[in-house]
Amino acid sequence: MMCVAVTVFIPGCSAPPHVDREAETVDTDTTPDTSRAKANAVPDEEVSGRRNDRPVLLEPSQWRGKRFVMVEKVRMFRKFGYLLYTSPQLDSATSAPNPAVALKNHRLKYDVFAGGVVTVTAVEEQDDGEYLATFQTDTMGLTVYGKTRNGIIEGIHAEEDLVAARDRWLGQTVFSRRRLIDTYDSAASRFATTPVSITEPLEVVAVRWGMTPLPPKPIWLVVQRADGSRGIIPVNYSWTNVPPQKRTDGLPWSMDILEEDPRSYGWEDEIWEAIDETKLLTGMTTKQVRLSWGEPANTHSRIDERGRRVRELTYPGDILFFVNDSLANVRKRHDTPTH
């Protein structure tokens, strides 16, 4: 068996020349050496979440009868109110708004409705492919209106998502796949981040609505570290009212948290160190790489003439090549690979 030297790759950098030559001359065995990477090959599947989960998505045409919460806003955006209006003409209405509940452009006032709930009573598709939704507020019983832009209405989120998120995560232990937890200074209305290891257990001590528009994910998992300090991990529970370009084929929270202890994979410490530093090592599996660099933009698999499974993972600036689920080579995207 030919051993492939352990080499460190960092995003956006080409692999050293000797790695190219090694990758192109592996022919003495169909399985590259992964002893340093401790492959313990795990199927290339979702790297977080429980099996049999399916991402939830309610398109606007399915919103009738659903309840949405008007989530809090960071201070600088409160003066703009919510994108819900007291007139079906929205901000084009010519009638005078009720100053007790609406701004001059008929938008609902933030200080009156923050945290309130609206129920969808009707949805009509418009000529431009967007939807006009009619809502009733839980306080005052007002009839209000909102039109989707790019298939969503900003500032509101499905009430059932928070209920499901609390049932799933409150009191549980999660791991930050982003290797960060956020903190929020309400007095200064400012966010900050704290780095954590992907293997550090974090206890979920509260699950609450976050703030819009930053960070953009509406549910906050309040997590506590072993030293008692706390932070937040923003997540989506479903793809409902999430911009299409932000959705993936995976679970909505899969890029933010892991629900199982990653140490159960049995990988060596050097693998976790590389993952925490977003580096790659020759011989890493696709699962290990996805934890280090995140999800690729594209994947492609084939069986080569030697009967080996060859997989390509495409990231911004780089294409990663795997042979039998072992990282063999990294090339710049403008390079033409040879096999």
Are residues 169 and 251 both part of a single domain?
yes
- What is the distance, to the nearest Å, from the Cα of residue 200 to the centroid of all Cα atoms in its chain? 19
In-domain check, residue 17: yes
Asked whether the beta carbons of 327 and 19 are under 8 A apart, the reply is no
Domain match, 171 and 251 both: yes
116 and 202 assigned to the same domain? no
Domain boundary among 142, 158, 174: 158
- pLDDT at residue 81 greater than cutoff 90: yes
- Whether residue 337 is contained in a domain is answered as no
Q: Report the distance separating Cα 208 and Cα 222, nearest Å.
A: 8
If you average pLDDT over every residue of the chain, what do you get? Answer: 85
Least confident of 27-31, 262-266, 317-321: 27-31
Selection from 110, 108, 115 nearest residue 143 by Cα: 108
Residue 306 and residue 292 share a domain: yes
In this model, does residue 179 exceed pLDDT 50?
yes
Distance from chain centroid for Cα 41: 25
Which residue in 266, 259, 307, 256 sits closest to 288, CA to CA? 266
Q: How many domains does the chain have?
A: 3
Residues 266-283 have pLDDT tens digits of 999 999 999 999 999 999
Residue after which a domain boundary falls, among 111, 137, 158: 158
* 55 found inside a domain: no
Q: Which tokens belong to 123?
A: 């949805």
Residue 47 confidence class, pLDDT cut points 50, 70, 90: low
Q: Are 118 and 129 found together in one domain?
A: yes
Structure tokens, 13: 């950098």
Report phi then psi at 293, rounded to 5.
-105, -5
Q: pLDDT > 90: what percent of the chain?
A: 74
Q: Considering the domain boundaries, does residue 53 fall inside one?
A: no
CA distance 3 to 123: 62
pLDDT at 10: 42
- Domain residue limits at 147: 60-158
Spatial separation of the C-alpha atoms in residues 254 and 137, rounded to whole Å? 33
CB 237 within 8 Å of CB 165: yes
The answer as to whether 232 is a domain residue is yes
Q: Which residue has the higher pLDDT, 267 or 216?
A: 267
For the chain, the maximum distance between any two Cα atoms, rounded to a whole number of angstroms, is: 81
Q: At what angle do helices 286-293 and 269-276 cross, to 10 degrees?
A: 40
Residue 8: what pLDDT?
Answer: 43
Q: Are 30 and 64 contained in the same domain?
A: no
Please indicate, yes or no, whether residues 64 and 143 belong to a single structural domain of this protein: yes
Q: Is the pLDDT of residue 15 over 60?
A: no
Asked if residue 299 and residue 246 are part of one domain, the reply reads no
DSSP output for 254-268: TTTEESS-GGGG---
Query: What are the structure tokens assigned to 106, written together?
Result: 């008929």
Q: Which two tokens stand for residue 12?
A: 């956006």
Q: Which of 132, 158, 184 finishes a domain?
A: 158
Q: CB-based burial of residue 159 (10 Å sphere; 0-12 exposed, 13-18 middle, 19+ buried)?
A: middle
Which of 14-28, 171-185, 210-224 has the weakest average pLDDT?
Answer: 14-28
What one-character DSSP code corresponds to residue 83? S
pLDDT in tens, 284-306: 999 999 999 988 989 999 998 99
pTM for the whole structure: 0.80
Same domain, 154 and 67: yes
**Taking residues 5-26, what's their average pLDDT?**
36
228 and 282 fall within a common domain: no
164 and 154 fall within a common domain: no
Q: Which uninterrupted H or E stretch holds 122?
A: strand 117-125
Does position 89 have pLDDT exceeding 90, yes or no?
yes
* Strand ranges (E), the chain: 8-9, 67-70, 72-73, 117-125, 131-137, 143-147, 156-158, 173-176, 180-185, 190-195, 202-209, 211-212, 219-224, 230-235, 257-258, 280-281, 298-303, 309-315, 318-323, 326-332
